[in-house]
Structure 1
Amino acid sequence: MGGRRERTEREWSVLMSAAQVLLERVPQLTDQLIEALQAHSPQFDLAVPRDEHWQQISEAMRYGIEALAAKRSAPRRDLQYAERLGRRRAEQGLPLELLLYAYRHAGYLVWDELLEIVTEKDPESLPVLVHLASDVWAGVDRQASTVADAYRGTEQEMRRRSDERVQALLDALLEGRSAPGLAASAAAGLDLPEQGRYAVVVIRVERAAGREPFHRIGAAEGLRFFWRMRTDYEIAVVALEPGVGLTELAEVLRRRCPGRPGGISPVVPGLADLGEARRLAETALRTCGPDTDRIVRLDERLPTALVVSRPDLASHLVADVFGPLLALDPADRAVLLETLDAWLESGGSAGRAATRLFCHRNTVFNRLRRLEQLTSRSLSRPRDLIEMMLALDAFRLG
């Protein structure tokens, strides 16, 4: 309330005279408005304590009536109060549409009361008052706009604080903290079951200038992703719906995040287990060598995971198995290890390994025999073969 166009002396006189009477009727108008709001929606009583509601409506009406008859240079206390009230109602959880309804209904009550006052005291001035109607409703609209802006700003800030709190809870779970109620609070904030099927994904991301930005997946094919950013990688907690497993998860990630190495943990039974899942996902990522640009599952790389989990033992294994190879010329050594890798990837077939290496199968046999001589191990003996496989992984990843 409270117009801001230039008024004539007659208009000022009519408004100020009516406003003085109107201020005396604020308690009755407050009672009327409270009753109308309660009849319109029970949420007013549920969100706002009755005494507080009455007091705030009374003050808002009083400031609005004063603004109606105030000079242009007067402070807009009605707008200042509308801003405070918008913040308060957002905190109380009253829907914005109900708050705006209250302001506009108050405008109707005040306008009807103004008409009644002028009709009783100075009916000849009714045309003057009608001429001021646009001022009155412009004031109501300005107050409604102010209260809405304050409400939305507060709601956004509350949502941001809530999101930050939920993200902090998720970080605490990923770090493996165990505090009473932590998993339950995170479940409520994320709208997830505390006990359910979850996996953790860790994807290495280079953030250098010129690199294609990483695009996070929100949801896909029975999967919900909740991402957290770290310095050089992204972590996702993934909720898996019934019937969806790690095969589907790996396929989605490889399709939507091509060219990026990553690790996937096994499925864990609840949010409280996310810390262990994160550690396992990071272990899976460490099994990706420098030339690997795909996302791998830990359960498919357990032997290699054992090697990278104990770098101290891995270095002893490399020295013990490949000791003589380490003294070779790097190019010579690389050829032998590349041949061993191709032979293993080909399921022990020299022919398929030769195709991969673009050489004759006899060349493969000769290189493997030389490798056996240097390492004093036989690829036909299971225990020796296991040692050679693990040593090869340890050498490549070390």
Structure 2
Amino acid sequence: MTGPTNGRRPRTGHDWRLLKEACTALLPRVPELVDEHLRQLSDHSPVFGRVLPHDVHWREAEEAMRIGIEAISAPRASPRRDLEYAEEAGRRRAQQGLPLDLLIHSYRNAGYLVWDSLLEGVAGRDPEKLAVLMRSATMVWSAVDAQAAVASDAYRATELELRRRTDEQLQALLDALLEGQATPGLAARAAAGLDLPEHGPYAVVVLRVERRDGREAFHRQIQRTGFRFIWRMRTDCEVGVVALRAEEGLDGLARLLDGRCPGPGGISPVVGGLADLGHARRLAELALRTCPPDATGIVRLDRRMPAALVVSQPELAGRLVADVLGEVLTVEPSDRAVLLETLDTWLDCEGSAGRAAARLYCHRNTVFNRLRRLEQLTSRSLTRPRDLVEVALALEAHRLSGAP
């Protein structure tokens, strides 16, 4: 209960004295009113009993009701203890997890009990004074509304703060998992907080941050597909944890992301649970590193293993390029570009000169001639498997270096 929000009092001093007399007479009955109040709340919703221990609830309700009754008839300049208590109660109920609608209902219910008791007390002692007391109704119910409003505002502010703290805690747990921390119980706590299974198929997606526009639309679009994504933005990339659907796995994830990502990205292999996200994140980053500088698509590490080997050993990759393609890189730039494009296309066409010629808009004999020149420059034979592996890896290393 609370006093009026705007300082209004009954119309006359006689009215105020009658209200004060009625409130003073009601104070000894507060324990009885609190018992009835808690009984009615319990009948209204079992949540009160689950959230608030009865003895604690009784003490708090008794204090609130007593402060409210005293505030109704307090002098105009009196400190607003009722509103201070309502603010504290609103914060407390948010922390305890009582739904806001039940908090407001509890104030309304207490208001009805106190007002009815005030009327009954006056009517029993002097029915003629009942009409005088009724003139105080607007003031009393304004007081109840003010108290409920203050408690509600405090509740909402506390709820937002609690949600912010919870979000920060969950983000810290997710970051710890993605960093590969081996803290005991970390995966279990993250599973409970993020509402994810601790064990099950997961993958990590790492997207290169090149522009921010379009990302919100991208996130909304993929969240409607049935996959569960949790994203973390970092300085130069965006990391997504994906709870995979067993029936689709990486194939379904790759189809979903293909053409939708606002930049190049890498997908890790499947891991068995939250505890493995750190390993998955490193592999997804490695997959992303296999994308050339001008790439826009998303790649899977399990489909880019040769390139991953190359980028994971940059010093050896540089030596491989120099050893295998050194002579090729000395020829005139336009000729070099034609030779390397022909080799890349031929490899992509699984060694078919005819298919490569169709893509390159030239005769198949032209493809053969260019490949023979490459064999001469590299001192490797494309018909020998070991030499072919070296040439293919060297070409991949050169392309990923961004060199012309």
TM-score when normalising by structure 2:
0.92
Structure 1 partner of 2:91: 87
Quote how far apart the aligned CAs of 1:393 are.
Answer: 0.4
Structure 2 partner of 1:319: 322
Structure 2 partner of 1:267: 270
Aligned equivalent of 1:203, options 202, 207, 218: 207
The runs of 4+ residues in structure 1 deviating greater than 6 Å are none
Q: What is the CA deviation profile of residues 182-240 of structure 1, one whole-angstrom value per residue up to 9, with x for unaligned ones? A: 000111111111110101111112137xx544532563444211111111211111101
Q: What is the CA deviation profile of residues 239-280 of structure 1, one whole-angstrom value per residue up to 9, with x for unaligned ones? A: 0122121111011111432x5211111111111111111111
- Counterpart contact for 2:259–2:297, Cα < 8 Å: no
- Out of 155-164 and 313-322, give the one that drifted further: 155-164
Instruction: Give SS of 2:25's match.
Output: helix
Structure 1 partner of 2:3: 2
Structure 1 partner of 2:396: 393
Which residue identity lines up with residue 397 of structure 2 in the other structure? Answer: A
Task: Give the total of aligned pairs.
Answer: 395
- Counterpart contact for 1:115–1:126, Cα < 8 Å: yes
Aligned equivalent of 1:67, options 63, 71, 89: 71
- Out of 281-290 and 59-68, give the one that drifted further: 59-68
Structure 2 partner of 1:37: 41
Superposed, 1:193-342 pairs within 5 Å as 193-207=197-211, 211-213=213-215, 215-217=218-220, 219-257=223-261, 260-342=263-345
- Counterpart contact for 2:51–2:98, Cα < 8 Å: yes
In the alignment, the residues of structure 1 paired with residue 274 and residue 56 of structure 2 have an alpha-carbon distance, to the nearest angstrom, of 41
- Counterpart contact for 2:206–2:266, Cα < 8 Å: yes
- Counterpart contact for 1:343–1:349, Cα < 8 Å: yes
Quick one: percent identity of the two aligned structures?
63
Aligned equivalent of 2:112, options 105, 108, 131: 108
- Out of 11-20 and 39-48, give the one that drifted further: 39-48
Q: What is the CA deviation profile of residues 57-108 of structure 1, one whole-angstrom value per residue up to 9, with x for unaligned ones? A: 1221122112212344433221111110111112112232332222111111
In the alignment, the residues of structure 1 paired with residue 137 and residue 17 of structure 2 have an alpha-carbon distance, to the nearest angstrom, of 15
In the alignment, the residues of structure 1 paired with residue 49 and residue 362 of structure 2 have an alpha-carbon distance, to the nearest angstrom, of 84
Which residue identity lines up with residue 183 of structure 1 in the other structure? Answer: A
Structure 1 partner of 2:387: 384
- Out of 384-393 and 365-374, give the one that drifted further: 365-374
Superposed, 1:342-353 pairs within 5 Å as 342-353=345-356
- Counterpart contact for 2:210–2:263, Cα < 8 Å: no
In the alignment, the residues of structure 1 paired with residue 175 and residue 244 of structure 2 have an alpha-carbon distance, to the nearest angstrom, of 19
**Distance change in 2, residues 1:319/1:62 (3 Å):** same
Instruction: Give SS of 2:219's match.
Output: coil
- Counterpart contact for 1:83–1:146, Cα < 8 Å: yes
In the alignment, the residues of structure 2 paired with residue 72 and residue 396 of structure 1 have an alpha-carbon distance, to the nearest angstrom, of 82
Aligned equivalent of 1:357, options 360, 372, 379: 360
Quote how far apart the aligned CAs of 1:42 are.
Answer: 4.0
Quote how far apart the aligned CAs of 1:299 are.
Answer: 0.8
Unaligned runs of 5+ in 1: none
CA RMSD of aligned residues (A): 2.0
TM-score when normalising by structure 1:
0.93
Structure 1 partner of 2:163: 159
- Counterpart contact for 1:207–1:232, Cα < 8 Å: no
- Counterpart contact for 1:220–1:252, Cα < 8 Å: no
In the alignment, the residues of structure 1 paired with residue 93 and residue 28 of structure 2 have an alpha-carbon distance, to the nearest angstrom, of 27
In the alignment, the residues of structure 2 paired with residue 77 and residue 365 of structure 1 have an alpha-carbon distance, to the nearest angstrom, of 94
- 2:119 is aligned with 1:119: no
Structure 1 partner of 2:194: 190
Quote how far apart the aligned CAs of 1:168 are.
Answer: 1.1
In the alignment, the residues of structure 1 paired with residue 136 and residue 32 of structure 2 have an alpha-carbon distance, to the nearest angstrom, of 24
In the alignment, the residues of structure 2 paired with residue 43 and residue 212 of structure 1 have an alpha-carbon distance, to the nearest angstrom, of 43
Aligned equivalent of 2:372, options 356, 369, 372: 369
